[in-house]
Structure 1
């Protein structure tokens, strides 16, 4: 990923010592919470690479839990995130792994409740900038800096065209798009970043397309 501005290198306004290990981790946690769409009952966080080795010194676990609580990088509540999570009834489990990963600052977040669960893998690439590289087993590249649509659907002919036509109707410009599937004819995922905010009406129309399973909106 290319840096968009000098602030992607300097880092965001934040609580904590490291834009990569603290601000980036908070953003990974917050993207997971926004995709999940509600307070989880349980959060299982696995750190890999440098995250696994240094997370205690940088407060990476505090930051990522703060994100799961929907706190921004500059919110002073992040300092008390573990305590706040306990008060909210969220069971937090921190795991470290020695598994080889593509990027040293990698975290997997699994959120669960009685309704369902979500698993994302995110990487912190510097200056507080992140990428979500996997969601529920689908490979993708999602920055978390732009509004996005996550459309889960059956892998059938014409699905991309159907979604694109509705986005054209609402004059939404596609800035980046990823399409992934687990196997031919099974479930597939569209991850679409847009230049504009995504209205409720668009979500409703896309949800009515045949063979659409779920539509999730991620507002930056």
Structure 2
């Protein structure tokens, strides 16, 4: 079930006109910004399906860029996000893709600066709700609506259990957990959505575990 209440169906407080094409798009952009951890210097935004056909009229372009600027769905600055990005000298490029995707409201965001890059694929599933379905080549399922941690780790016995044990010790309840790997025995990614924000010292404890390469937190 995708919706927990009537307010999920109506959609969030937002800058219009569409919860799917505007609020959802802004949230996809904001999750990308959150995962990147800082303001990017450039972004290439590839739009598919309905997003590609209507993005200018429905404000999908300004919404995604607003998200990259860390604006929430109701932030009035979203309307001026393209101009704000230009003034900040953030290079933005939109691409209308012809490929057929599983969901009509799909966006791929590639962003970066001199210190690194990130690639993310997200879909807007309606009512302002989203799912992140790919991150740097890893397949995942992330709603973007709950606190979460992404744990890059070596695909080794006990890695998942050790992270779960740390969360249990600190009474952090796991709402959803997925594990993705590109190749057996190589690098893998844990996506863990939890019921409350995770404090810095818990993140540090997980990062120090054997076979853990990187821990990234997404706050609510």
Partners of 2:211 and 2:40 lie apart in 1 by 28
- Report the Cα offset of residue 100 of structure 1: 1.1
- SS of 1:34 mapped into structure 2: helix
Structure 1 regions of 5+ residues with no counterpart?
none
- SS of 2:149 mapped into structure 1: strand
- Report the Cα offset of residue 86 of structure 1: 1.2
Q: For residues 21-170 of structure 1, what are the structure 2 equivalents within 5 Å?
A: 21-170=21-170
Structure 2 regions of 5+ residues with no counterpart?
none
- Report the Cα offset of residue 213 of structure 1: 1.1
TM-score (norm 2): 0.98
| Other-structure match for 1:174 | 174
Partner deviation per Cα, 1:31-87 (whole Å, 9 max, x = no partner): 000011101111110000000011011010000000000000000000000011112
Aligned residues: 220
Partners of 1:135 and 1:40 lie apart in 2 by 16
Partners of 1:106 and 1:210 lie apart in 2 by 36
Structural RMSD (CA): 0.8
Partners of 2:88 and 2:217 lie apart in 1 by 24
Partners of 2:82 and 2:31 lie apart in 1 by 18
- SS of 2:201 mapped into structure 1: helix
- Report the Cα offset of residue 114 of structure 1: 1.1
Partner deviation per Cα, 1:9-51 (whole Å, 9 max, x = no partner): 1011111200000000000000000011101111110000000
Partner deviation per Cα, 1:143-198 (whole Å, 9 max, x = no partner): 01100000001111100011011101111000000100001011100000001111
- SS of 2:213 mapped into structure 1: strand
Partners of 1:37 and 1:88 lie apart in 2 by 17
- Report the Cα offset of residue 89 of structure 1: 2.0
